Amino acid sequence: MHRIFHHDSEMLGRTFHALGLSLPTPDTVSVISGDVTEIRPMERRIDTLLRCETADGEAYLVLVESQRGVDEDKRYTWTYYLAYLADKYRLPVLLLVICHDRRVATWAAQPFKHGAGAWAALTLRAVVVGPHNVPAILDEEAARDYVPLAVLSALTHAKDADIGAILKTLASALKAMDDPEEAYDLAELTGIGLGNTPAEEIWRQMMALDTSFYRSAFSRQLRAEGRAEGRAEGAAEGRAASLRRVLDIRGIAITDEQGGRLSDCTDLDQLDAWLDRALTATSASEVFDAG
């Protein structure tokens, strides 16, 4: 989920504004290394670390973490990250936690106090972005106004009952974008950010089935995978593997005879034709026996 903040330099400021947070609006944002490994053999990796600079020259860091579940160890891990980064860069550090679960968001928003007795020597407070404060964008015009924010809306509402409508709105906004490559990148980020949720399967089906834009994008992705695999194992085998993947995702079973034809085929044009048909076909015969 945190990778959406890599994509667009305006995303952080827009998110602050959308949530009504009185935080400095960054004028420029750049991704820097999130490696906070110590000399001892213990590797620690921040999800995303951003350096922000305002128009008047103020600089600060934003540590962005995706949090899918309650993890009490994070009160110590996040405290370590903040202290380490403040010491290393000598800059203010903000912790931004992204959730798609209200229970997790409530947990992450609490003040984590470190101290003895009633004395809090250090208190950690995160800015939490989740379904409790990110609007569910269901209006296509609003989604088209700033598509990355619509992506964030989909990610944070992944477990909502109306996620299908949210994803449909996002799909429409992506299709309307002028830059198809950026639209595809955002579509891919959405699928990754949804993680292992039912919403991810809904999104996968939308990519494969719902619009010509997504059929084309999905086909390009699978052919690219097929070409990459083909360089190692043969172009035909790579195409066949992509076709089998589409059929498996769409729940289309093939007969032994059809499987044999697929395994034996070395005609790349024929394999591409089968792959194109597989994106919309409702049966294996429509894939292999169409005129």
* Residues 256 and 160 occupy one common structural domain: no
Instruction: Tell me which of 210, 230, 247 is where a domain ends.
Output: 210
* Residues 71 and 185 occupy one common structural domain: no
Among 242, 177, 164, residue whose Cα is nearest residue 210: 164
Whether 173 is in a domain gets the answer: yes
* Residues 169 and 221 occupy one common structural domain: no
Question: If pLDDT is split at 50, 70 and 90, which confidence band does 232 have?
Answer: very low
Whether 16 is in a domain gets the answer: yes
How many whole angstroms separate alpha carbon 155 and alpha carbon 178? 23
More confident residue, 18 or 111: 111
User: Most distant CA pair in the chain: distance in Å?
Assistant: 79
| Residue type at position 274 | W
* Residues 17 and 120 occupy one common structural domain: yes
More confident residue, 89 or 241: 89
Sheet with strand 93-98: strands edge to edge: 28-32, 48-53, 59-66, 93-98, 127-129
Tell me how many degrees the CA angle 22-25-30 measures, rounded to the nearest 5. 135
* Residues 124 and 8 occupy one common structural domain: yes
* Residues 150 and 204 occupy one common structural domain: yes
- pLDDT computed for residue 39 by the predictor: 61
Give bridge partners of residue 52 from the DSSP assignment.
29, 60
- pLDDT computed for residue 214 by the predictor: 55
Q: Which among 103-112, 206-215, 268-277 has the top mean pLDDT?
A: 103-112
131 close to 113: Cβ distance less than 8 angstroms = no
Among 193, 190, 159, residue whose Cα is nearest residue 173: 190
Instruction: Tell me which of 210, 227, 254 is where a domain ends.
Output: 210
3-state secondary structure of 166: helix
Whether 134 is in a domain gets the answer: no
Length of the chain: 291
pLDDT at 219 over 70: no
Whether 252 is in a domain gets the answer: yes
* Residues 85 and 161 occupy one common structural domain: no
pLDDT tens per residue across span 178-208: 888 888 889 888 988 888 888 988 888 887 7
pLDDT tens per residue across span 43-65: 677 889 999 999 988 999 999 99
| Residue type at position 285 | S
Instruction: Tell me which of 210, 241, 265 is where a domain ends.
Output: 210
Q: What Rg, from alpha-carbon coordinates, does the chain have?
A: 23
Residue recorded with tokens 């820097």 = 32
pLDDT at 111 over 90: yes
pLDDT at 216 over 50: yes
3-state secondary structure of 116: strand
Count of the separate structural domains present in the chain:
3
How many whole angstroms separate alpha carbon 265 and alpha carbon 69? 46
- pLDDT computed for residue 230 by the predictor: 47
- pLDDT computed for residue 157 by the predictor: 94
* Residues 8 and 115 occupy one common structural domain: yes
pLDDT at 238 over 50: yes
Whether 169 is in a domain gets the answer: yes
Whether 202 is in a domain gets the answer: yes
Please provide the average confidence, as pLDDT, over all residues in the chain. Answer: 84
How many whole angstroms separate alpha carbon 103 and alpha carbon 208? 32
| Element spanning 162, H or E | none
* Alpha carbon distances (Å) from 38 to 42, 43, 91, 215: 6, 7, 20, 46
Question: If pLDDT is split at 50, 70 and 90, which confidence band does 215 have?
Answer: low
* Residues 124 and 190 occupy one common structural domain: no
3-state secondary structure of 239: helix
Whether 227 is in a domain gets the answer: yes
The count of other CB atoms within 10 Å of the CB of residue 29 is 18
* Residues 158 and 112 occupy one common structural domain: no
* Residues 173 and 221 occupy one common structural domain: no
Whether 135 is in a domain gets the answer: no
* Residues 85 and 53 occupy one common structural domain: yes
Give the residue numbers spanning the domain of 82.
4-129
pLDDT tens per residue across span 241-266: 878 878 887 788 888 888 888 888 88
How many whole angstroms separate alpha carbon 24 and alpha carbon 47? 22
